Structure formats: C-alpha cells, structure tokens
Amino acid sequence: MWKLPGAQSGHRAVLCFCVQRGDVAAVRPADAIDPVYGRTLREALARGVEAMAWRAIVSPREIVLRDPLPVFCP
C-alpha cells in the first residue's frame, strides 16, 4: 500500500479539484467508472488528506477559481 508521509506526520495534505463545467453542483468519486480511484480517495481522506473543489472560470488569459463546491465521498 502507498504512504502519505505529509498527512501522516501532521503536515497538511490537500487534493484540490478544479471544476471547469458550469453544470456541476458537487464533486464525488465516480465509483461506477473507476472503483479503484473511489477506494483510494476514501483511504486518503481517512488518513488525513483534505479534499476541496472549486468552480473554475477558464478564459484564454486566465483561470479563476470562483466558487467552492462541496465534495461528497460517502
């Protein structure tokens, strides 16, 4: 199994989802598409990794993180 030395030793570890679609209201793992990713994400969260998501407005000149979105990982 893999290790998370940062989160395990008391350092902050964050996974940030940058959502570039306007029709997304929340982020959750797509277990039906990739169950291994879903399990791995849940394990990381259980070990202290934080997950956050932000709606991104993308233009040719910049990417702006506009609105925080909830992350659901039951």
Decide if 65 is inside a domain. Answer: yes
pLDDT tens digits, 22-38: 999 999 999 999 999 99
The predicted pLDDT at position 74 comes to: 87
Number of domains in the chain: 1
User: Which CATH number characterizes residue 41's domain?
Assistant: 3.40.1350.60
The predicted pLDDT at position 12 comes to: 87
Decide if 24 is inside a domain. Answer: yes
Q: Can you list the alpha helix ranges (DSSP code H) found in 1-74? A: 5-8, 35-46
3-class SS of residue 52: strand
Decide if 5 is inside a domain. Answer: no
- Residues in Cβ contact with 73 at an 8 Å cutoff, skipping those fewer than 6 apart: 28, 29, 38, 41, 42, 45, 51
Q: Which has more confidence, 1 or 11? A: 11
pLDDT tens digits, 42-54: 999 999 999 999 9
User: What is the pTM for the complete model shown?
Assistant: 0.79
- Residue 11: DSSP 8-state: -
Q: Quick one: average pLDDT of 58-67?
A: 95
Decide if 4 is inside a domain. Answer: no
As a whole number, the mean pLDDT across the chain is 90
State the Cα–Cα distance between residues 1 and 23, nearest whole angstrom: 35
Number of CB atoms found within 10 A of residue 41's CB:
19
Supply the range of the domain harboring residue 52: 11-69
